[in-house]
Amino acid sequence: MSRSADPVADLTTNTVFDADAAELWTTTVQFARQELAESAMRARDRSGEFWREGWRRCAAYGVQRLPVPADHGGLALSMLHTVVVLDALGYACDDAGLIFSINAHLWGSVVPLWLHGTPEQRRRYLGPLMAGELIGGHAMTEPSSGSDAFSLRTRARPQGQGFVLDGAKTFSTNAPIADIVVVFARIEGTEGPEGISAFIVERGTPGLTTGTPLDKMGLRTSPLGELALDGCVVGPEAVLGPVGGGAAVFNSSMLWERTCIVAPLVGAMQRTLERCVSYARTRRQFGKSIGRFESISAKVADMKVAVDTSRSIVRRAAQVIDSGPGGLLEASVSKLYVSEAAVGLHREALQLHGGYGYMTDYEIERGLRDVLASTIYSGTSEMQRHIIGRLMGL
């Protein structure tokens, strides 16, 4: 097999994909280039504006329904093919916040409703969530409980057939714009994970208030905020999964989320690598292109290894989960490795671009700002190491 004369073009060859996956990747890149490229991205990054039209275009392409079985109206993609689509979106869509919001919607609402919803809950919410008509969020984290998620303080007091929810949530992706949020709360009087339940709470429910979006460093086009639950009354139809089954709902979400949420980072890493190669070939210092300096070409080589390794690790985790049961270990390995690799690669990309990389015009600094949260959300790197150690019998 011959290699093209242009090493940058060669970088887009996904050697770890089979023919089906490679075609899916290419088709999705074409979709993103045609439908998701827009000039206002830099302004929206500054103002922190969510791109609703981009959300609708992704829904029309099927992104919000990727893994859901066909009998529930989904595209029935395997997890492997789901991560291929997300990888391609990370590569070709400039708006990392939009793709992050879609991820939060998929793993925080769509997948829990598909896996744990009653037929009535699926009828009411799943179709509109997949069609892009409703936006979903997920609220576990509280001001006093992050990594120690199950120590949450939000309470669900039984009242008649339903519950009264009281508490405060924070860092909930999509909360400022969400039509429904899956809220986790402890049933009053219980202890341990068995006492936690998940509730579908609709925007506008009396007692539910969503704050203004929190201002953050990266992923600025993905709104994130606080929720206050103050005597928020929900009926029995709001309980997602069995009463006391919230930990299972959360854990099944996390299995999908930890594997899939890093897939767009792989595409983003590849895009940044390609920019680095182009820059290293054209930027000249001391009479030659900077790519001729060994310390620069070594950075590019390390980036290439990081992209290929990350893609293989995500793909492997998805394949293990597709062939289930299990995959917890692979999901945490994937989350830990890819997020750390993405931060490292973007840090080096900025260095390679010198002062220009630090300027907003080059959009290298935005790439770094957008990936930095990945070692924190969906369980920090420290917690992934803890989980991996525990699953290895320590």
Ligand X SMILES: Cc1cc2nc3c(=O)[nH]c(=O)nc-3n(C[C@H](O)[C@H](O)[C@H](O)COP(=O)(O)OP(=O)(O)OC[C@H]3O[C@@H](n4cnc5c(N)ncnc54)[C@H](O)[C@@H]3O)c2cc1C
Scanning 169-177, 245-253, 263-271, 350-358 for contacts with ligand X by CB under 6 A, the matching segment is 169-177
- Kindly name the residue from 38, 194, 226, 257 that is annotated as catalytic: 257
Toward ligand X, which CB reaches closer, 220 or 315? 220
Residue type, 265: L
Q: How many residues bind ligand X (CB under 6 A)?
A: 21
Sign of dihedral through CA atoms 166, 171, 177, 183?
negative
For ligand X, the binding residue among 36, 68, 208, 219 (CB under 6 A) is 219
Q: Which residue is nearest to ligand X (CB)?
A: 146
Q: Which helix (H) or strand (E) holds 135?
A: none
Q: What is the distance between the alpha carbons of residues 31 and 270, in angstroms, rounded to a whole number?
A: 18
Q: How far is the CB of 331 from ligand X (least distance, A)?
A: 15
Task: Could you list the beta-strand ranges (E) of 86-175.
Answer: 136-139, 155-159, 162-173
Helices (H), 93-130: 96-105, 111-116, 119-121, 127-130
For ligand X, the binding residue among 104, 129, 201, 276 (CB under 6 A) is 104
Q: How far is the CB of 263 from ligand X (least distance, A)?
A: 16
User: Nearest Cα to 262, choosing from 368, 373, 175, 366?
Assistant: 373
Q: What is the distance between the alpha carbons of residues 105 and 140, in angstroms, rounded to a whole number?
A: 14
Q: Which helix (H) or strand (E) holds 229?
A: strand 224-234
Residue at token pair 């525990």: 390
Query: Which residues, other chains included, contact 43 with Cβ-Cβ below 8 Å and sequence gap of 6+?
Result: 49
Tell me the two tokens of residue 291: 């790519």
Q: Are 360 and 218 in contact (CB under 8 A)?
A: no
224 sits near ligand X (criterion: CB under 6 A): yes
Q: Which helix (H) or strand (E) holds 203?
A: none
Scanning 54-62, 132-140, 308-316, 328-336 for contacts with ligand X by CB under 6 A, the matching segment is 132-140
268 sits near ligand X (criterion: CB under 6 A): no
Asked about 38 being catalytic, the answer comes back as no
373 sits near ligand X (criterion: CB under 6 A): yes
282 sits near ligand X (criterion: CB under 6 A): no
96 sits near ligand X (criterion: CB under 6 A): no
214 sits near ligand X (criterion: CB under 6 A): no
141 sits near ligand X (criterion: CB under 6 A): yes
Q: How far is the CB of 108 from ligand X (least distance, A)?
A: 6
Q: How far is the CB of 380 from ligand X (least distance, A)?
A: 3
88 sits near ligand X (criterion: CB under 6 A): no
Residues that are catalytic:
257
Q: Interface residues with ligand X (CB under 6 A)?
A: 104, 108, 138-141, 146-147, 171-173, 219, 224, 373, 376-377, 379-380, 382-383, 386
